[in-house]
Amino acid sequence: MSQDHDHLHLPEHPDFLWRNPEPKSSYDAVIVGGGGHGLATAYFLAKNHGMTNIAVLEKGWLAGGNMARNTTIIRSNYLWDESAAIYEHALKLWEVLPEELEYDFLFSQRGVMNLAHTLGDVRESMRRVGANKLNGVDAEWLDPQQVKELCPILNVSDNIRYPVMGATYQPRAGIAKHDHVAWAFARKCDELGVDIIQNCEVTGFLKDGNRVVGVKTNRGTINTEKVGLAAAGHSSVLAEMAGFRLPIQSHPLQALVSELHEPVHPTVVMSNHVHVYVSQAHKGELVMGAGVDSYNGYGQRGSFHVIEEQMAAAVELFPIFARAHVLRTWGGIVDTTMDASPIVGTTPVENMFVNCGWGTGGFKGTPAAGLTFAHTIATGAPHKLNEPFSLERFETGALIDEHGAAAVAH
């Protein structure tokens, strides 16, 4: 069957944003994991440290793991100084990245509200607002009436099990289009000469004594001087291949979206106590997430009762959602630590570095993870922002306990 395409005048295929090169036999550095953090790391390695002979290896497709599965919330209202510093730096980067990457990924600073439902919540929230202000993070305390003014569809009446007693509010927080963030980083990486290699699964590491000298993949062996692991839920699997352990447990974390609706929800609402967080995407779907499934899992799916609980919380807070239909639910694998803070730093293996443990909150940290991890890989020493987030803290006891303190349970 012959076809004459000339008369069809089909539109040109859109330009690809990055090449799909074959892996070279050696690189100056290899990043394992082509999600947001891996791509951001490669970008800052190239831009800030002039390392352009580098590769990002992704076992599936680019940004198809947690970068495609999160609820896109960006905020920096963490309690402790170390967390506030790194997340606030991330937020400042989010504010300039659309221009720097020349890509509008719809970063929308519509604010984030963290609801308080108990007297304990109220005290913790006010304490966090104070701590945030001292750290230069924009934060304010809202009473229920102010909550209602900012988000009219929220039920702030007394007739629910856990009435809204107020909320913290960070006006500069918001959401962004996660896929577009990944594509923005990938395009810039590619322009700077970084090889992004998809469908390339790491199967082992080559070591000379205790020093990593190469990566074994399903597409051949790649020699390299430095390896950065940015594989989130699979970090433990890679660490085991390299011969060390991480204090990480991988759990399924689920989220869901409704069908498209008219704009009804002007901000982002998170509730630690009844445990749901909700925003409305630019297209109109309600995006909701909750806590992790309790058990360890690598299956990228969780149990339905977790979704049931989060929907119950959502409907109580937002009665208007009662008749909204769930369109899709999904799960990702999050890498949780015992103190709910990330690990960004060196490992027991020489020239191998790790960025993991971001757990349920990695998306917002993407730019700062990339910046500090790139610094650590390039110089062999931590940036001042990630110095407290070392693997050694579990030994020294200098934990950064953000359970609950981070404004939402992990």
Task: Tell me how far, at minimum, the Cβ of 293 lies from other proteins, in Å.
Answer: 9
Listed residue (110, 352, 44) closest to 211, CA to CA: 352
Neighbouring CB atoms inside 10 A of 96's CB total 11
Strands 276-280 and 112-116, by their bridges, are unpaired
Q: Which is nearer to other proteins, 141 or 244 (CB)?
A: 244
Based on CB atoms, which residue is closest to other proteins, 243 or 404?
243
In the complex, minimum distance from the CB of residue 330 to other proteins, in angstroms, rounded to a whole number: 16
Query: What is the rounded distance in angstroms from the CA atom of residue 298 to the CA atom of residue 234?
Result: 8
* Closest approach of other proteins to the CB of residue 249, in Å: 6
Pick 23 or 65: Cβ nearer other proteins: 65
The nearer residue to other proteins, 61 or 304, going by C-beta atoms, is 304
- The residue (of 243 and 319) whose beta carbon lies closer to other proteins is 243
Smallest gap from Cβ 347 to other proteins, in A, equals 8
Q: What pairing do the DSSP bridges indicate for beta strands 211-217 and 54-57?
A: unpaired
Distance (Å, rounded) from C-alpha 73 to C-alpha 111?
10
How far apart CA 194 and CA 128 sit, in angstroms, is: 40
- Helices 178-191, 362-379: axis angle to 10 degrees equals 20
- 256-287 burial, b at 16+ Cβ within 10 Å, e below that, comes to bbbeebeeebebbbbbbbbbbbbbbbeeebbb
Give the nearer residue to other proteins in terms of CB position, either 203 or 210: 210
CB of 304 to other proteins, least distance (A): 5
Residue 99 burial class via C-beta count within 10 angstroms: exposed 0-12, middle 13-18, buried 19 and up: exposed
Selection from 244, 231, 195 nearest residue 346 by Cα: 244
Binding footprint of other proteins on the chain (CB under 8 A): 210, 234, 236-237, 240, 243-250, 294-299, 303-305, 337-338, 348, 394-397
Q: What is the DSSP letter of 59?
A: S
Nearest distance from C-beta of residue 239 to other proteins, angstroms: 9
Of 233 and 365, nearer to other proteins (C-beta) is 233
Q: CB of 247: closest distance to other proteins in angstroms?
A: 4
CB of 399 to other proteins, least distance (A): 9
Report residue 233 CA to chain centroid gap.
12
- Of the two residues 207 and 261, which places its CB atom closer to other proteins in the complex? 207
**Which among 44, 22, 9, 20 is positioned nearest to 377, based on CA atoms?**
44
Question: Tokens for 258?
Answer: 């409704």
